[in-house]
Structure 1
Amino acid sequence: MADILLVEDEANARQILSLGLNMQGHQVRGCESAAEAEKLMRAYDFDVVLTDLRMDGRDAGLDVIRAGKNLQPGARILLLTAYASAETAVAAMKEGAFDYLTKPVSAEELAAAVERALADSATADAAHGDHAGEDSAAKNEMLIGESEPMRRVRSRLQRAAQSDFTVLISGESGTGKELAAISVHAASNRAKGPFVPVHCGAIPEGLFESELFGHRKGAFTGADYNRAGLIESANGGTLFLDEIGEMPIAVQVKLLRALQERRIRRVGDDREHDVDVRIIAATNRDLEAEVRKGTFREDLFFRLNVVPVHMPPLRQRREDIPELAKALVQQWNDGRARLNDDCLARLSELPFMGNVRELENLLQRMLALSEGGDLDLALLNELYSVSQPEPEVSLSHLQKQEQDLDSWLEKIERQLIDEALAKTGGNITRAAEELGVSFRSLRYRLKKLGVAGEDE
């Protein structure tokens, strides 16, 4: 997931592009002018800046590029234009753009361009060892918590860093799977090499093979030059395959061979290239269930699941929420605002089905709307009551959520089990008593949902 600034003066185009990027798992802030973009770049950090060229009747996108070069030196800037020409491309590249896209741009083209930009950014950070180390250390500090589940996670991650085996990180969305991957990379003997994150759900199926393995010039329409893929970009370092369960079966076969042989073949190429890459994969799915359904290869699952790590949901480590919330506010606000005790106590009671990502979003809105130095309980209750209505049990609500009955019931079942485990400190026997079911029944449900407890 990336933080993206979208600069587009046409409201409809801005809305469509934002929706597409959000569906790929990215967080987007949009604006309609170079002046607004500069203000946002002074207030927030971005991974990618996507800007239209023509705004207000002039090439204002070049102004965005110049501002981004000064204010967001770590971001990659993509230029979006309906007036593409050799002169436009040269001018944009000279000003500091990473690449440019021609309107109308498809969702597939945009997703692929964002992935290339993120991969290039990760590789550049790793090439500057000190900067990469500082960045990794800062992110590692966000694996906060002294609860028993988090102590087990940190212990497993430390052991994983001491070897070069593949790691499979599981857990719900927003639990910090990428931070866990970064911590393994930063503590390993590959720390000076690149860390290349790839969100498998954001790459269209038709472009997956080319993005991952690269292609040879002329391999397909639009392949105008030889290009290394994301695996080669991670050579000497770590490739992080986020949401590996989204990878198409055909690509899974080729990834398995690359893992076994440590060699890859670009699309359209007649020779292979040696690669030295450590793979860390992450998923919010039950891959064993996907194997049984035939949507994920069993041999690839076993190849990836050498060192398994499960990231616990926030609901199972509520005692960590105050420390985590204070650290986030400190990070964003340099200590100018603080959470009072009543607010921290209330935060610890909330379900946070979106986990740390939901907590981050809530705290950011509180910071944006607070009038004084303290973030108090009144503001928290106001925002949370608006954003978190009680779920309705009705057919119309089910259809509005675009969910089926099984997924809705699983969501309710998971929430109740999580609450029972949190109340009993993860003890399955006592949680079963709280839920009024047998120990065997709860163990079956836990296995089905991929949730761990202390009795296991």
Structure 2
Amino acid sequence: MANILLLDDEANVREVLSLSLGSFGHDVTSIATPNEAVQMLEQQTFDVVITDLRMDGEDKGLDVVRQAKSIQPHVIVLLLTAYASAETAVEAMRNGAFDYITKPVSRTELGDIIERALAAKDISPTHQSLEETMATAETKGTLIGDSHVIQRVRDRIQRAAKRDFTVLITGESGTGKELAARLVHEQSPRNHGPFVPVHCGAIPENLFESELFGYVKGAFTGADSDKTGLVESADGGTLFLDEIGEMPLLIQVKLLRVLQDMRVRRVGSEHEIQVDVRIVAATNRNLEAEVQAGNFREDLFYRLNVIPVHMPSLRQRREDIPALVQALMQRCGGRNVFISDACMQKLSNLPLAGNVRELENTLQRLLALSDDDALDIHLIDELQNPNATPEINLNHLQEQGISLDTQLEHIEKALVEEALAQTKNNATQAAKHLGISFRSMRYRMQKLGLKEEK
């Protein structure tokens, strides 16, 4: 049973949804205004908040999303709307919404969404990525590992943090580029300001300009009020542009103007707004090659590459893998699981083309398939050849002592991980490869403890 706060300005909608939610055994508090929502959130703890988007003719639901996550950071927020659009979805998710529900909603669909939301709430503390684990450690001024290459990275980050110039972080996928960006911010004089991460590959091209620079009321159909862009949101702090190589050329021109003048112009406005933002960018691409190919502006590349930081692959610092494994095991709930020297050696010798992210996935799979008290060293060889299709029959299930549901989950996770690997961890593209909807993809990732790259 969940404690649910329901906000909708239509009494009949509140009544129908309250009855539906109550039939599932949930405790529902229904209210009519955003002010009441804030008061309730300050007085009582909720598992889920369901809020209407349009109230009194305005998109007040987005403000409720932000306020709810600010007052109760761990609450799951669902946006209820009859006006669903790609832009609404992007804005809602960026402000912390778990999902949006399109009106009218059936009782079955409502029950399924609440079930997924509660499942995500239950697993979220134990399935944080290693980058988040390391970010927690980094607030204490440490990087995991003592290799010479990671020591050089640590020194470069400290030097970059002291100087208010743009930083370009390079490295393969899964090496911790966002972690490095957060460290630059946390160790800089701007650490009192916001750190605003933006994944350039996750924003649809037609929404890029309005997301980065904002817009004014009436700028286009659906622009019912002014909106602050991500650049403005980072004022006084750091804007982290992850996978900058995927930014469209037209937006690159506009970003160059921001770097030169520290001014932004919202879509539809004739006025410029002064900002004070430090830009840290990251990419797994060779931007110099992209410049030669005409895919990236040369002038923007030199503006970004004032202080370069290169994140080494795990293959360049294998001596750090044991420490990373121990950190991951604690985060994955396997702190008491025995790892033999031979097992650790095998882990250290894996190809690990996906770096930290691949190591994390490997350990999660080992924990799921091994006995409770020790990692199965023999499974590592099996995982090194993921394309091999094992014979699956009833005898196999009985010998392994696993159920059909467990076997199907293993197969599902392997296919989802393969799709994510092929699309560089882009959930939208991976969903297309698997022939499922983005919402279904996101649900499966949350159920399986997988995370899309940030």
Distance 1:309 1:62, change over 3 A: farther
Distance 2:353 2:322 in 1: 17
Give the 3-state SS of the residue equivalent to 1:339 in structure 2.
Answer: coil
Cα separation, partners in 2 of 1:251 and 1:90, compared to 1, 3 Å? closer
Q: Which range is displaced more, 135-144 or 320-329?
A: 135-144
1:403 & 1:97 partners in 2: Cα distance? Answer: 28
For residues 402 and 238 of structure 1, the distance between their equivalents in structure 2, rounded to whole angstroms, comes to: 28
Contact 1:326 1:338 in 2 (8 A): no
Equivalence for 2:356:
356
5 Å-filtered alignment, 1:42-441, equals: 58=21, 86=55, 100=79, 102=81, 109-117=88-96, 136-139=135-138, 143-333=143-333, 335-382=335-382, 384-385=383-384, 387=386, 389=388
- Asked whether the equivalents of residues 235 and 276 of structure 1 are also in contact (C-alpha less than 8 Å), the reply is yes
Q: Contact conserved, 1:218 with 1:224, CA < 8 A, in 2?
A: yes
Offset, 1:305: 0.2
Shift of the 60–211 alpha-carbon distance from structure 1 to 2, 3 Å rule, reads: farther
Deviations for 1:391-410, whole angstroms, at most 9, x for unmatched residues? xxxxxxxxx99999xxxxxx
Q: Is the 8 A contact 2:169 2:177 kept in 1?
A: yes
* Cα separation, 2, equivalents of 1:237 and 1:171: 24
Contact in 2 for aligned 1:111/1:202 (Cα 8 Å):
no
Gaps of 5+ in 1: 1-33, 39-52, 119-132, 391-399, 405-456
**Secondary structure of the structure 2 residue equivalent to 1:117:** coil
Once the two structures are TM-superposed, the CA of residue 335 in structure 1 deviates from its matched residue by: 2.9
SS in structure 2 at match of 1:315: helix
Where 2:221 maps in the other structure, the secondary structure is coil
SS at match of 2:241: strand
Contact 2:170 2:311 in 1 (8 A): yes
1: CA distance, partners of 2:341 / 2:203: 43
How many residues align? The count is 325
CA distance in 2, matches of 1:195, 1:181: 9
TM-score, normalising length: structure 1: 0.61
2: CA distance between counterparts of 1:267 and 1:103?
25
Where 2:189 maps in the other structure, the secondary structure is coil
Percent of paired sites with the same residue: 53
Question: How big is each residue's C-alpha offset from its partner over 1:334-391, in whole Å with a ceiling of 9 and x where there is no partner?
Answer: 7333422221110011101111001111112223343323223134344x1563659x
Change (3 A) 1:171 1:217: same
State the SS of the aligned residue for 1:285.
coil
2:349 aligned counterpart, secondary structure: coil
> How far is 1:319 from its partner?
1.4
| Aligned-partner Cα distance in 2 for 1:85–1:271 | 29
What amino acid is the match of 2:153? Answer: V
Aligned residue identity for 2:96: A
CA contact under 8 A between 1:54 and 1:61: conserved in structure 2? no
SS at match of 1:343: helix
Give the deviation of 1:212 after TM superposition. 0.5
C-alpha separation between the residues in 1 aligned to 2:267 and 2:28?
A: 33
RMSD, aligned α-carbons: 4.2
Q: Secondary structure at the match of 2:150?
A: helix
Query: 2:326 touches 2:335 (CA, 8 Å); kept in 1?
Result: no
Instruction: Tell me which amino acid in the other structure corresponds to 1:161.
Output: A
Give the distance between the partners of 2:48 and 2:356, measured in 1 at CA. 28
Q: How far does residue 302 in structure 1 lie from its aligned partner after superposition?
A: 0.4
Counterparts of 1:377 and 1:273 in 2: how far apart (Å)?
Answer: 58
2:96 aligned counterpart, secondary structure: helix
| Shift, 1:272, TM fit | 1.3
1:107 CA drift (Å) = 5.5
Task: Note closer, same or farther for the CA distance 1:402–1:347 as it changes in structure 2 (3 Å cut).
Answer: closer
Name the TM-score, length of structure 2 as normaliser: 0.61
Query: Which residues of structure 2 form unaligned runs of 5+?
Result: 5-15, 30-39, 69-74, 98-131, 390-417, 423-454
For the residue of structure 2 that corresponds to 1:351, the secondary structure is: coil
Deviation at 1:260, TM superposition (A): 0.9
Q: By how many angstroms is 1:244 displaced?
A: 0.4
Distance of aligned partners of 1:210 and 1:290 in 2 relative to their CA distance in 1, 3 Å threshold: same
Distance 2:238 2:89 in 1: 24
Identify which of structures 1 and 2 has the higher relative contact order when contacts are C-alpha pairs closer than 8 Å and 6+ apart. 2
C-alpha spacing 1:107/1:375, structure 2 compared with 1 (3 Å): farther
Partner of 1:23: none
Deviation at residue 55 of structure 1 after TM alignment:
12
- Per-residue CA deviations over 1:285-319 (Å, capped at 9, x if unaligned) read 11111111111111110000000111111122211
- SS of 1:362's partner is helix
Say whether the 8 Å CA contact 1:209–1:251 is kept in structure 2: yes
Q: In structure 2, what is the Cα distance between the partners aligned to 1:260 and 1:177?
A: 25
